[in-house]
Structure 1
Amino acid sequence: MSGIYIHVPFCKQACHYCDFHFSTSLQYVDEMTDAICTEIIMKKDRITDQVGSIYFGGGTPSILPQKSFEKIFNTLTTHFSVASDAEITIETNPDDLDAKKIAILRQLPVNRFSIGIQSFFNEDLIWMNRAHNAAEADSCIMRSQDAGFENLSIDLIYGYPLLTDEKWHSNIRKAIGLQVPHLSAYSLTVEPRTALAAAIKKGKQVPVNDEQSAAQFISLIEKSGMAGFDHYEISNFSLPGKHAVHNTNYWRGIPYLGIGPSAHGFNGNTRYLNIANNAKYMTQIAAGKLAETVEELDIYDRFNEYVMTSLRTMWGTDLSKIERDFGKEFLNDTIENSETFIRRNWLENKNGTLTLTQDGKLFADYIASELFLIDEQK
């Protein structure tokens, strides 16, 4: 079943590390809602099977008012066949999840929260310029569970200067102790056009330490594993049966529709990318034009994308699929290129499937790039 991603480009304030597309002005929320609904209708013929997942990302979707959600859901259900058991996720911030907001969301088809906790320590949240505090990080999880939202995922960040190993271990224990079934954990990345990058360049912040990030990543793998979590994708950990349906479909190459400014979609052979500008997006949609660029993927693009996404998961890269979908030459090159990493104990070949070892997970992107193939005739 296909998925639908909806990008909600609004936030209360800008986190120092974030380079996602958003605006801190809520002046045009109604107009953006209308544009999103119009784009849904314009793209309704791109999905012909049932929709198995809907994901509201951003930005901070939980900032939207009830009427916006209702309008978007009405548009979705009018123009698509949404499975009765579809996973419907909304990204939320702890400061939005007060009792009133949770009650509103409970009236909607939403059945999963992805909560941007990032840390359970106040000083870290201040350093990140997050809008919530540590007390809200705790209380929003318990409040959501009490309201019946048990299918929760929380985001945590590691590898930043303030995060000692003791604090990181405490964050992991807290998440597990709160009985959250899914964790997404990301090493802090310094993106070029962010407040954090500017502060580091001016010497006002300490650069990220790669050794610290690696050590904290390994400790997360070990401690979550002891608690029964599957490390099913490089940045994602869940109890059995609680894998994120929507994101897992990304990594398995399942088609999905992208709606909203900066959103992208994929149909197996073509990738679509919407313009990352709110005003231009709304203007083009209002004029009856899709605000997207189209990239046709050749066989090398599709092979490289399969390797990049599949290798990040516990299911690995299936060599028989490579032969079936791309041919014998691609298979032979993959086997040959993987041998170096197998000898280093970074990769394993288990019954025809390449999977990363624990050491290999530290170099996932590098290994994938070394397995990429290029068209020599271009």
Structure 2
Amino acid sequence: MSGIYIHIPFCKQACHYCDFHFSTSMKKKEEMVLAIAKEIQMRKSEFENDPEFSGVETIYFGGGTPSVLSSEEINFLIAAVYNNYSVIENPEITLEANPDDLSSERIIELSKSKINRLSIGIQSFFEDDLQMMNRAHNSAEAKKCLEETTKYFGNISLDLIYGVPGMSNEKWKQNIETALSFGIPHISSYALTVEPKTALNKLIQTGKIAAPKDEVAQEHFAILVEKLEGHDFIHYELSNFGKENYFSKNNSAYWLGKKYMGIGPSAHSYDGISRSWNVSNNSLYIKSIQEDKLPNEIEILSTADRYNEYVMTGLRTIWGVSLDRIKTEFGSEYLDYLSKQVQKFLDDDLVFIENNILKPTPKGKFLTDGIASDLFILN
């Protein structure tokens, strides 16, 4: 097993674009922490008989906003992992955090814990963007937290959002340059997307905010790639850029198809042949765990499912899609299908094949999800 993902389903307020599972009420926070610790303990047998398991390599606190937990609660959950699983000597332990939670005192506290990587949700350094997104922090807090965290942590990632309505290319460049000025070794950057059940979708439908434009997002993406690669960042996944030795080990494991365990409400797990996910309801999750029941559903993945996932994740990364692996793992008929479907993208210079590895060209990178979907096999 590569890692353990722990979903903390609480946020101070709801960002307008977010459709992840969370609650803005902290009433059940203590119960939730105890339930998560119990699920960690309940599931320890899942990998005890796995011959491939050599220890937990990564622990990742995602959400929601994991930094709403106290340092004591975070340490309690890390201890639960160590008490129930074999953990490698130097695991990557990441905490997603928002700038408004990262006071100087809190940063020092975290630096004394086993947390050795921070993923900070900056999104933008401009006040109007943050207000439009309904972020809980302001621009000054964003910059202040980076000034402080870089004193105590070497392994830091920050998130930026592009394709924001009204964001000029110049403004986007300023966002990137501000991020670079702090010497951060990893940047994750995503296009603003409009999910159906979000406040952003409602604001667009009522004409209060303009809809994001694909052509603007594509321009911003090209600027992002050029700027970061010019500062020695490696574009190792569609939305992720890291300096050498600073790739996210947790996320890289997902993309490389390694096994992982998801703990907490709405969290997903993968064991190589099946995928499971916990109920996306805090009260039902807590009640089920208290009754010693795992509140999850399980789906056995078909060969086509596994092929589709490999094509999707492979095309998004620098590791690409191995045609040899397609033939060995899925069979000649899958390779024949892929070869036929991909030809039009080869002709349009959106993908290329080198050393029997299929990868997107610079022109095709922004379009990889669409290209991958055209290569899928329907069950």
Structure 2 residue 37 is matched with structure 1 residue 41: no
Structure 2 residue 193 is matched with structure 1 residue 163: no
Structure 2 residue 281 is matched with structure 1 residue 277: yes
Deviating more after overlay: 125-134 vs 43-52: 43-52
Structure 2 residue 192 is matched with structure 1 residue 193: no
What is residue 304 of structure 1 aligned with on the other side?
A: 308
CA deviation string 1:33-63 (max 9, x = no partner): 0100111111112234211111100000011
Structure 2 residue 27 is matched with structure 1 residue 22: no
CA deviation string 1:145-170 (max 9, x = no partner): 112x1100000000011321111000
1:92–1:113 CA contact under 8 A, matched in 2: yes
What is residue 342 of structure 2 aligned with on the other side?
A: 338
Output aligned runs, 1:11-160, within 5 Å. Answer: 11-48=11-48, 49=53, 50-147=55-152, 149-160=153-164
Residue identity matched to 2:308? N
Distance (whole Å) between structure 1 residues aligned to residue 117 and residue 77 of structure 2: 17
Q: Which runs of 4+ in 1 moved over 6 A?
A: none
Q: CA RMSD in A?
A: 1.0
Residue identity matched to 1:99? S
- Residue 326 (structure 2) aligned to one of 318, 322, 326: 322
Structure 2 residue 215 is matched with structure 1 residue 214: no
Residue identity matched to 1:311? L
CA deviation string 1:295-349 (max 9, x = no partner): 0001111111111111100110001111111111111211221111011000000
Task: Look up the SS of the partner of 2:178 in the other structure.
Answer: helix
Query: Scaled by the length of structure 1, what TM-score is found?
Result: 0.97
What is residue 203 of structure 1 aligned with on the other side?
A: 207
Query: Scaled by the length of structure 2, what TM-score is found?
Result: 0.97
Deviation at 1:374, TM superposition (A): 2.8
Runs (5+) with no aligned partner, structure 1: none
1:318–1:354 CA contact under 8 A, matched in 2: yes
Distance (whole Å) between structure 1 residues aligned to residue 46 and residue 223 of structure 2: 43
Distance (whole Å) between structure 2 residues aligned to residue 315 and residue 274 of structure 1: 30
1:87–1:111 CA contact under 8 A, matched in 2: yes
CA deviation string 1:100-136 (max 9, x = no partner): 2112212211000000000011111111111111111
Distance (whole Å) between structure 2 residues aligned to residue 78 and residue 162 of structure 1: 50
What is residue 295 of structure 1 aligned with on the other side?
A: 299
Distance (whole Å) between structure 1 residues aligned to residue 43 and residue 58 of structure 2: 16
Distance (whole Å) between structure 1 residues aligned to residue 302 and residue 229 of structure 2: 38
Task: Look up the SS of the partner of 1:311 in the other structure.
Answer: helix
Structure 2 residue 269 is matched with structure 1 residue 265: yes
Distance (whole Å) between structure 2 residues aligned to residue 196 and residue 374 of structure 1: 32
Distance (whole Å) between structure 1 residues aligned to residue 295 and residue 112 of structure 2: 32
1:124–1:162 CA contact under 8 A, matched in 2: no
What is residue 10 of structure 2 aligned with on the other side?
A: 10
Distance (whole Å) between structure 2 residues aligned to residue 210 and residue 189 of structure 1: 10
Deviation at 1:72, TM superposition (A): 0.7
Deviation at 1:265, TM superposition (A): 0.4
1:2–1:47 CA contact under 8 A, matched in 2: no
Deviation at 1:23, TM superposition (A): 0.6
Runs (5+) with no aligned partner, structure 2: none
How many corresponding residue pairs? 374
Distance (whole Å) between structure 2 residues aligned to residue 159 and residue 235 of structure 1: 13
Structure 2 residue 253 is matched with structure 1 residue 256: no
Distance (whole Å) between structure 1 residues aligned to residue 332 and residue 90 of structure 2: 39
Distance (whole Å) between structure 1 residues aligned to residue 72 and residue 172 of structure 2: 39
- Residue 350 (structure 1) aligned to one of 331, 350, 354: 354
What is residue 377 of structure 2 aligned with on the other side?
A: 373
Deviation at 1:198, TM superposition (A): 0.4
1:274–1:293 CA contact under 8 A, matched in 2: yes
